[in-house]
Structure 1
Amino acid sequence: MQRLDHADGTRSWVVAVPGTRAAGLTGDVPTDNGTNLALEGGVPDVMTRAVVAAMGEAGIGADEPVALVGHSQGGMVATSVAAATVGTYAVRLVVTAGSPDVPAVPPPGAATLTLRHREDAVTILDGKVGERGGPRTLSVVRDLAATGGPLRPSFTEAHAVAGYVRTGALVDDALGDLPADDPVRRALTDVLGEQRVSATTTQVTVAVGPPPDPVAPATPTVARPLDAAPAAPLGAQPPWPPAPDVPWSPAATGRAWSVLSPSTSSTTARS
């Protein structure tokens, strides 16, 4: 997560979510295939709730522009978080790389930038084949075999995040073809600004444990410095999908989880 402090005194945020890290369906790693299945099925998942909680702990203001970015599973989580926080945070942009279009409905009010490789099978797990696009969306598609990538990329090569980092260089060219008032260009400007910014980067770790005891459920909390005010219990977060009068508990996801103490670093650069 990056906090961007702009020269004019305003602030914006970039929240990056990692992709799948574990092949199992359960365990102590939340970025697993269990989370993938939950996202595909449209049911509550650990990572969406953890990212929303981390954003709250970071102190993101309701009017501070936010970009949510993710590769593979991370892109699905970013889209899910954008939908879950409508009216809470000013999410201007969702950037996905190598992700299926899940959730299928674009986040209300946010522009979308998608990066895809033609050879990447993961991007069609949503059942859609062919080009993507639509209002408030910029789709950048790269043919690896024709642009210096492997002539016959393996599944791993086609989906690797390193390849998508190189594909990201094509975004500037794609933006150059868009009018100044294009939603994606405006969203990027809202978040990144046009002048010098100071970036503070915080890495947040999510820990997952076994399901809580149904008799005496443990309420996970976000760890804070010892001299800070007590953190609100994560169980107080609103349910997703929204359900009136139904309180959420850790058991809703089948696993208890918590956001651990973050590590932080700062840099200054020109946007």
Structure 2
Amino acid sequence: MVCKKGDTPFSSKIAGSGSYTMDASLPYSLSWNGMAAGTGVVISGGAYGVNTDDLTDFAATLNSAADWLEDALDLALACLAEVRSLANRPVVFTSLNPDDPLGLRSDTKSGPMFPGDARSRVNAYTFVERINAEAALTTLTSGAGSLDDAVSSLRTLATDVISAGTTYTDAESAANGDWVSVPRLLSWGMSSLGAIPGATELGTVVAAISVLTMNGVVGPDGFEDILQGMQMVVADPMLDDWVNTDLMVLIGLAVWAQQAKTGLESTTVEAYIGQVVAELDPAISRVLPDQVQVGSRRVNTSFLTPMQRVAYYLAVRAEQFGENQYGAPTGVTVTPHGGSSVTVPTGVQDPFGLKTAVPAVAAAGMLPPSSGNAPQPGTAADVIRYCADMKGRDDDVSSGVVSILRTDHADGTTSWLVAVPGTTDWGSGDTNPQDLLTNLQAVSGRPSDMEAAVVTAMRQAGIAPEDKVGLYGHSQGGITAVNVAADPAVNRQFNITNVLTAGSPTAGADLPDNVNALHLENTGDAVPALDAAATPRTRTRTVVTIDTHSSGFDGYPHAPQIYADAVDGIGGNPQIDQWTEELAGITGASEDGAQTTEIVFDITRDSTESPWEQMARKTGKRG
């Protein structure tokens, strides 16, 4: 790796990182002992980076230095040849004057040579100097440490530097991949859907979802939810042109991406969504208000990215659609296992629930005491597996779930790890807020019920302002985690130091420098690409791009287990090693005297009576 000294010590931001700043965000390959066979891992971002332009310039400088030394070598060889030519010239040693053996008293400087003449002495000295010069020039022009040796070494180093630049460029190409063209996807969609002559738009949607279900993209339980979502899109005049022209492309893309056979799925989805967003943004921008709520702040709509604006519009439409289906949301109820519930207002009414009083139930002794058996995950893979296991233990699909691990250290300090699972409900606005509505809200930046729930759970757990906090999220959980960590109002109340995401579209979040983030993204996983942009690579944001399509892992690469298996034992990169060390400091992994408590929270979205329920109730009364 090529590192560059920075003017501002990076250690002032993150302990133990050294005074280095990132040269660039170009990626490079990483391997480690125990790495899963067939897996490719590329690192980009963080405090350590490589700039291939700098490598090219460095190689050119090395070659220039070799040219100068080569010129010096030519001059030295010419001098050596000249010195050696003197060996063919006789040196005159005249008989010496016994009265002046060294010729010191002789003042004859011209004319015939006399015994003892100073010129005879000079000739003797010249002989010795020629011998010494020849020896020195021979050493300078040949053998180890010679100019010739230096020239050869510089040429070899320049070649190696150029090769290194090529390696990094190839790694970048591998990370970014190629992408499948839209015409190919259109062909895929046509063949997947088949000809549906005379079909209505809704009929086409039903056929499309049937294709998705048959190909395993949508589970049987999700058919109704996806159908409702598609109905919302079809009924929207802002989107009908896109539905008519691109629906089959979308279906083909979904089916192709689900197979995950190429490692190009993520970049292809990102490119396609980017094209769609560019087409939709002008019209949608005209109907959005001048300012919108993003987290705890009101911001100018023009400050949002095109993807955020389109997602914002879709989120508002999904909220309206959800109200018609399930009733108007009234709040989010957060219930710790073994503790009392707290309800905060929903969404934009009170972003993150920060204006609502929340008792710290853990600090008040309202939770069961720690058993001391809670897990202490020490690596990224450990955290992913823990969160997946925690989610697997929750069998109530009508509510969401979040876990917080509290670690009490021997030195009297306390730290926390917040784990947020991904989407479990593909509807929009039902009682489980880990749904499609939250996905749209989170990508756009519009306040979501899950963000309010996570921050409320943190407040209930009793996290103090000085306590270190790490956040982890898979898929939707990752978007929620970065949105929470990025918000200034949240940062004024909590000391969030670390974030881990797996399979999450996190490009829209602007994380502060005090947060050390590690983002895991699989090239075959379409989900990280759903925000149509690359995750930022900064001094404090490191992206690990994983290619598992040749690894033999069983299942779709979005699965938490595949992410965990792919990065199991990862190390050898200074930024990742530092992040892992900081994680262990938060969770108390392998720390004598550290005790960890697990607090699991159920999350429920509350709402008014839905129109259907009102109708049923009124009908019942009439009956």
| Counterpart check, 1:128 vs 2:533 | yes
Equivalent residue, structure 2, for 1:112: 517
C-alpha change, 1:48 and 1:212, in structure 2 (3 Å) is farther
Gaps of 5+ in 2: 1-403, 611-623
Structure 1: gaps of 5 or more residues: 214-271
Between the aligned partners of 1:48 and 1:208, the Cα distance in structure 2 is 12
The answer to whether residue 411 in structure 2 is matched with residue 8 in structure 1 is: yes
Counterparts of 1:94 and 1:40, CA distance in 2: 17
Which whole-Å deviations, capped at 9, do the CAs of 1:182-205 have from their partners, x for residues lacking one? 5x3564354235623211001100
Q: Which amino acid in the other structure matches residue 546 of structure 2?
A: R
Choose 1 or 2 for highest CA Rg: 2
Q: Which residue of 1 aligns with 2:506?
A: 101
1:5–1:114 Cα change, 3 Å: same
TM-score of the superposition, structure 2-length normalised?
0.31
Q: Is 1:206 the counterpart of 2:603 in the alignment?
A: yes
Among 553, 560, 563, the alignment partner of 1:164 is: 563
Q: Deviations over 1:134-179 (max 9, x none)?
A: 21122222211233325xx6xxx12112212223414x32xx3207
C-alpha change, 1:199 and 1:168, in structure 2 (3 Å) is farther
Give me the whole-angstrom Cα distance separating, in 2, the residues matched to 1:18 and 1:181: 24
Residue 452 of structure 2 aligns to a residue whose secondary structure is helix
> Number of residue pairs matched?
203
- Note the 1:181-192 alignment, pairs <5 A: 182=578, 184=579, 187-192=582-587
- How many Å apart are 1:108 and its aligned residue? 4.5
Instruction: Select between 2-11 and 45-54 the one with higher mean Cα deviation.
Output: 2-11
- Is 1:146 paired with 2:550? yes
Conservation of the 8 A alpha-carbon contact between 1:79 and 1:102: no
- Secondary structure, aligned partner of 1:202: strand
Q: Is the 8 A contact 1:79 1:103 kept in 2?
A: no
* 2:486 counterpart SS class: helix
What is the letter of the counterpart of residue 143 of structure 1? D
1:46-78 Cα deviation digits (max 9, x unpaired): 000111111001100111100000000000001
Q: Counterparts of 2:524 and 2:601 in 1: how far apart (Å)?
A: 32
Q: Retained in 1: the 8 A contact 2:486–2:509?
A: no
Q: How far off is 1:97 after superposition?
A: 0.3
Match of 2:591 among 178, 195, 199: 195
Taking a change above 3 Å as real, the CA distance of residues 87 and 28 of structure 1, as seen in their structure-2 partners, is same
| Aligned equivalent of 1:39 | 442
Return closer, same or farther for 1:40/1:7 CA change in 2, 3 Å cut-off: same
* 8 Å Cα contact 1:111/1:187 also seen in 2: no
**Aligned match of 1:28:** 431
1:239-269 CA-to-partner distances (Å, cap 9, x unmatched) read xxxxxxxxxxxxxxxxxxxxxxxxxxxxxxx
> What letter is aligned with 2:526?
A
Amino acid at match of 1:201: E
Q: Aligned equivalents of 1:6 and 1:147: distance in 2? A: 39
Corresponding residue number in structure 1 for 2:497: 92
Letter of the structure 2 residue corresponding to residue 5 of structure 1: D
Q: Is the 8 A contact 1:83 1:108 kept in 2?
A: no
Name the CA distance, whole Å, in 2 between partners of 1:103 and 1:37: 12
1:97–1:114 contact (8 Å) kept in structure 2: yes
Distance 1:179 1:105 in 2: 19
RMSD of equivalent CA atoms: 2.4
SS in 2 for 1:159: coil
Q: Calculate percent identity across the aligned residue pairs.
A: 34
- Equivalent position amino acid for 2:549 in 1: A
Q: Work out the CA distance in 2 between the residues paired with 1:206 and 1:189.
A: 28
For 1:222, the equivalent position in structure 2 comes to: none
CA distance in 2, matches of 1:212, 1:83: 34
Q: AA paired with 1:165?
A: A
SS at match of 1:87: helix
Contact 1:39 1:103 in 2 (8 A): no
Task: Give CA deviations for 1:68-102 in whole Å, capped at 9, x if unaligned.
Answer: 00000000001111123112111000100000115
Partner-residue secondary structure (3-state), 2:491: coil
- Structure with the higher fraction of residues in helix conformation: 2
Q: Is the 8 A contact 1:92 1:191 kept in 2?
A: no
Matches of 1:14 and 1:45, distance apart in 2: 21
Aligned to 1:78: 481
In structure 2, the residue corresponding to 1:53 is in which secondary structure?
Answer: helix
- C-alpha separation in 1, matches of 2:413 and 2:566: 30
1:65 equivalent in structure 2: 468
Q: How far off is 1:20 after superposition?
A: 0.3
Distance across 2 between alignment mates of 1:102 and 1:179: 20
Which of 562, 574, 598 is the matching residue for 1:178?
A: 574
User: 4+ residue runs of structure 1 moved beyond 4 angstroms?
Assistant: 179-182
**Residues of 2 paired with 1:78 and 1:52: CA distance?**
10
Q: Greater strand share, 1 or 2?
A: 1
Alpha-carbon distance in structure 2 between the residues aligned to 1:185 and 1:163: 19
Distance 1:179 1:34 in 2: 34
SS at match of 2:501: strand
Q: What is the rounded CA distance, in whole Å, between the counterparts of 2:507 and 2:609 in structure 1?
A: 28
